A and B are shown apart, each in its own frame.
Chain A
Amino acid sequence: MALDHDWAPAWRIVSAIERGEASALAVVEAALTRIERLNPKVNAFTAVVAERARAKAKAIDARKPGGAAPLAGVPFAVKNLFDVKGLVTVAGSKINRDHVPAAKDSPLIERLEAAGAILVGALNMSEYAYDFTGENIHYGPARNPHDLTRMTGGSSSGSVAAVGGGLVPLSLGSDTNGSIRVPASHCGIFGLKPTYGRLSRARSFPFVTSLDHVGPFARSARDLALAYDAMQGRDPEDPVCADRDAEPVTPLVERGADGLRIAIAGGYFQKGAFPEAKEALARVAAALAAKREVEIPESGRARSAAYVITASEGAALHLERLRRRARDFDPAVRDRLIAGAMVPASLVVKAQKFRRWYRAEVLKLFDGVDAILAPASPCTAPKIGQQTFVIDGVEMPLRPNLGLYTQPISFIGLPVAVAPVPLAPLPIGVQIIAAPWREDVALRIAHTLEEMGVASAPRPVL
């Protein structure tokens, strides 16, 4: 079967190149053409590195056949908080444009390229990653490929618009409170937020050191596994990166979900969800025959503690910029950060103490279950410009609240795969939450749902 350049998953591109059905250069040229045609619609890319990508593709094509690298010829792009050699790491801001261009690629880019993937550009994001909507006053909002009048979700907005819109099959984002999982849900793609400390954050622009994670997006669970495996491993440049051997998951994803004990998150995670979030969760639970409900204790308080730590650490990061360049921030980000600078330290320390207590309590649940299902976002993608939504009868601001169901999970660094459920007219995702270092479990379940046709990345008409 001929390669469908516009929508093929990464694993299919790799096999086509390995069999000589396509060249890496042809794959990259097709991606560059799509970016040129579609980016004006979705506003996903802030920089394209076409010549670099062509050179890399030619190098891959010049290699002798056989022993293909696991991501040979797969075009990918990164949220513009990752260092790309020669580009300024703007992190969605105007202020960082004054930085010098990065001298080196981030280690995750180096590792993906060592596995044969080809970087094609840098992607739009919410300013300094402090936002769930994907709007950006400096670069414009990334637009949802399923409805260009709707939000992508944030903060990894360009990362999901690029993959969900078919511009590239693979991208990288970051997730402090939900910035991989919320936008993956809104744009109907798979996303992986690995265990805290699993993937190196070196040479990426930080936000909240206690909570920052990085991870991949793709249109299939197998692609997430391939990318994740290529990026795992120690990195002395990131003190948070785990001193732990890589544990490849690609050989495990096709094992199916039989024998896995899968439960549904009750209580907090069932309050406030819109009907479409409930419908997606019900479909996934039914497909997996998951009936048992577990209560993740004190989840609401965990979210609150994450909120406090985020406000405070984010403010500490930006304090000097707030003093000198306050007018150059997006006002919505600036005002949150200034408020964060004023949170008493005693309350932040209490939030960190609570985090240890909560971690111990939640880990006990994994004695009895292997994975927990929960909504990834309360609703499908809201309209661009929408400021509020109604949760449980209370009107709340969107920007901080779209991460209602993601924050209590990343707060203690649990690995999560998001499986997109292709509801009409808009997709929505489900979180598959596993115990620390058990990305294999989350990805096995995501892959199983994909095989069953319950989860899939719907193809938009653009």
Chain B
Amino acid sequence: MAKPDETLDAYIEAAARALSLPIEPEWKPAIRANLQATLKHAALVDEFPLPDEVEPAPVFKA
């Protein structure tokens, strides 16, 4: 099984390709560290139970 770091590296590679983002090898450690930090924050939000009916904050008016 891949280690978490390797999994994230593979995700970064794939996402960069999908988004057509050129990434130099020497940028990868900082990108990984930033993505890890952001995903950690996102997990705190993700685990918070919210009713299905809650609207996202921005409201579009036609």
Contacts and interface: CB of A to CB of B under 8 A. Distances in A.
Interface of A: 210, 298, 300-301, 303-305, 307-308, 311, 319, 322-323, 326, 331-332, 334-336, 338-344, 347, 349-357, 359, 400, 412
Given A311-B38, A352-B58, A323 B22 contact: yes
Given A334-B27, A335-B30, A353 B56 contact: yes
A338 B27 CA distance: 10
Contacts of B34: 311, 335-336, 338-340
Interface residues of B, number: 32
22 contacts: A300-B44, A305-B41, A308-B38, A308-B41, A311-B34, A319-B21, A326-B21, A335-B34, A338-B16, A339-B31, A339-B32, A342-B16, A344-B42, A347-B39, A349-B56, A350-B45, A353-B57, A354-B45, A356-B55, A356-B56, A357-B54, A359-B57
Interface string B10-40: 0110011001111110010011101101111
B57 A352 contact: yes
Q: Chain B at the A interface: mostly helix, strand, loop or mixed?
A: helix
A412 B57 CA distance: 9
Closest 5 CB pairs of A and B: A339-B34, A304-B41, A352-B56, A335-B30, A355-B57
B37 A400 contact: yes
Nearest to B19: A341
A304 to B, nearest CB: 4
A351 B42 contact: yes
Contacts of A305: 41, 45
A305 B35 CA distance: 14
Interface of B: 11-12, 15-16, 19-24, 27, 30-32, 34-35, 37-42, 44-46, 48, 50, 54-58
Given A311-B38, A339-B31, A412-B57, 20 more contacts: A210-B57, A307-B37, A311-B34, A323-B20, A338-B23, A339-B32, A339-B34, A339-B38, A342-B11, A343-B35, A347-B39, A347-B42, A349-B56, A350-B45, A350-B50, A351-B42, A352-B57, A352-B58, A353-B56, A356-B56
Nearest to A356: B57
Contacts, number: 102
A289 B28 CA distance: 52
A343 B54 contact: no
A344 B48 CA distance: 17
A342 B28 CA distance: 13
Contact of B48 (A303, A354, A356, A359): A354
Contacts of B24: 326
A251 to B, nearest CB: 33
B29 to A, nearest CB: 9
A353 B38 contact: no
Contacts of A335: 27, 30-31, 34
A347 B22 CA distance: 24
Contacts of B42: 304, 308, 343-344, 347, 350-351
Nearest to B52: A353
A347 B50 CA distance: 13
B23 A210 contact: no
B57 to A, nearest CB: 4
A322 B55 CA distance: 31
Contacts of B23: 338
Contacts of A301: 44-45, 48
A357 B56 CA distance: 9
Contacts of B50: 350, 353-354, 357
Contacts of A303: 41
A280 B37 CA distance: 30
Nearest to B18: A342
Contacts of A356: 54-57
Contact of A353 (B15, B31, B55): B55
Contacts of B46: 347, 350
A341 B21 contact: yes
A431 B24 CA distance: 41
B22 A326 contact: yes
Interface centre among B19, B35, B42 (most CB of A within 10 A): B42
Contacts of A353: 50, 54-57
Nearest to A319: B19
Nearest to B36: A339
Nearest to A320: B20
A347 B40 CA distance: 11
A8 B16 CA distance: 53
